[in-house]
Amino acid sequence: MKKKILISTGGSGGHVIPGICFYQHLKENFDISITLDKRGLNFINLKEFNYQVINTPHLSKNIFKFPINLITFLLSIIRSFFYIKKKNVKVVISTGGYMSLPICIAARVLNCKIFLFEPNTVIGRSNLIFLGQCDKIFCYHDEIKNFPDKYKDKIELINPLLKKEIYSVKKNEKLNFNGKINLLIVGGSQGADFFQNNLKSDIIKLSKKFDLYVSHQTNLKNYESLKSFYQQNNIKFNLFNFEDSISKKINQFNLCITRSGASSLAELSFLNIPFITIPFPKAKDNHQFYNALYYKKKNLCWMLNQSDIYNDEVYNLIIDIVTNSADVKSKITEMQKFSYQNSWNNINKKLLSVLNK
């Protein structure tokens, strides 16, 4: 009989995408199920997963909402307890976030093995709570801010998790732009209003200087205004949302502007897509800034702080990139080194060896 493993995730794509990757890696060797909240359902194909919805309220500091949320939170723990017990789960893998707290608490009560996952360069608050109770924590590196020294021996280093389909995509091999920019703009699962409202003048200027095509991730509230903007300025474009998979088309782009979620940076680096990263300044514990800084220090990208963007900073940086092929080549060379050992089989072997101990 296969060992039963539960993957706990939910919330944003930054949590759910790694949960999907774990599921894909482990489903052949274990009896796998996954729990998500309602938000997390937006990021998975429900037909492909054995899933259960367990909603977890955010424990708001609002004194009027707190009692109700606390009761709901306690009910989530009870529901998690009975779900784990009914499924006879032996191992829980948490991708972090407050959504996973009830599952982890119930798993602890039931003496399940707990494995955490931390892709960022700052330890998440939920992971920090359970570091003492977990068996291991999967990380991409050990340069993690606020990580307690006494738990460093629990770190299991793995290559960045990518969805299986990414490994079949041909990597970018273009070092020169030759007057043509295929620009990808992505803001993550939360969207990026700043990208949708504050890059327009830069895009217009680029369209007058280059053969420009833009594929722009948007949300419903900005869709029509962005569509009108591109049409009125005669700029070739495509609009898509987070649920639309662009994996098969991503190697058509020779430049990307992105937020600094761990999954996005890992994917772009793996596919050798030159990218400018602009961290979301309101990310919890400023983790996107530290993610971006980690990649910048390794010469894998260009980085701009949103607070430093006033007029033509994005436009000027892109001009520098397009006219400096040596810099582009050096970035792509470092990307190739960075992702050299990142293969489906290598990650799969590592996960199986840890979970089978």
Q: What is the extent of the structural domain holding 28?
A: 4-162+342-355
What pLDDT was estimated at residue 219? Answer: 82
Percent of the chain scored above 70 by pLDDT? 97
- pLDDT tens digits, 231-242: 999 999 999 887
Q: How far apart are CA 237 and CA 212, in angstroms?
A: 9
Split into its structural domains, the chain has a count of 2
- pLDDT tens digits, 113-153: 999 999 999 999 999 999 999 999 999 999 899 999 999 99
Residues 172 and 253 in one domain: yes
- Of the segments 41-50, 62-71, 73-82, 188-197, which one has the largest average pLDDT value? 73-82
Sheet with 180-186: strands ordered across: 236-240, 211-217, 180-186, 255-258, 275-277, 302-303
What pLDDT was estimated at residue 54? Answer: 93
What pLDDT was estimated at residue 121? Answer: 95
Residues 140 and 275 in one domain: no
Asked whether 150 and 171 are in contact (CB, 8 A), the reply is no
Residues 150 and 264 in one domain: no
255 has which bridge partners?
Answer: 183
Is it the case that residue 249 has pLDDT exceeding 80? no
Is it the case that residue 61 has pLDDT exceeding 90? no
Residues 315 and 262 in one domain: yes
What pLDDT was estimated at residue 231? Answer: 97
Residue type for position 238: N
Residues 181 and 241 in one domain: yes
pTM of the model: 0.93
What pLDDT was estimated at residue 190? Answer: 57
- pLDDT tens digits, 299-317: 999 999 999 998 899 999 9
Asked whether 103 and 74 are in contact (CB, 8 A), the reply is no
Residues 270 and 215 in one domain: yes
Asked whether 105 and 19 are in contact (CB, 8 A), the reply is no
Is it the case that residue 191 has pLDDT exceeding 60? no
Asked whether 211 and 180 are in contact (CB, 8 A), the reply is yes
What pLDDT was estimated at residue 63? Answer: 74
Higher pLDDT among residues 110 and 1, named by residue: 110
* Residue 151: CATH number of its domain: 3.40.50.2000
Residues 143 and 21 in one domain: yes
Residues 51 and 150 in one domain: yes
Residues 346 and 334 in one domain: no
Residues 232 and 130 in one domain: no
Residues 213 and 105 in one domain: no
Angle at 192 between CA 251 and CA 257, to 5 degrees: 35
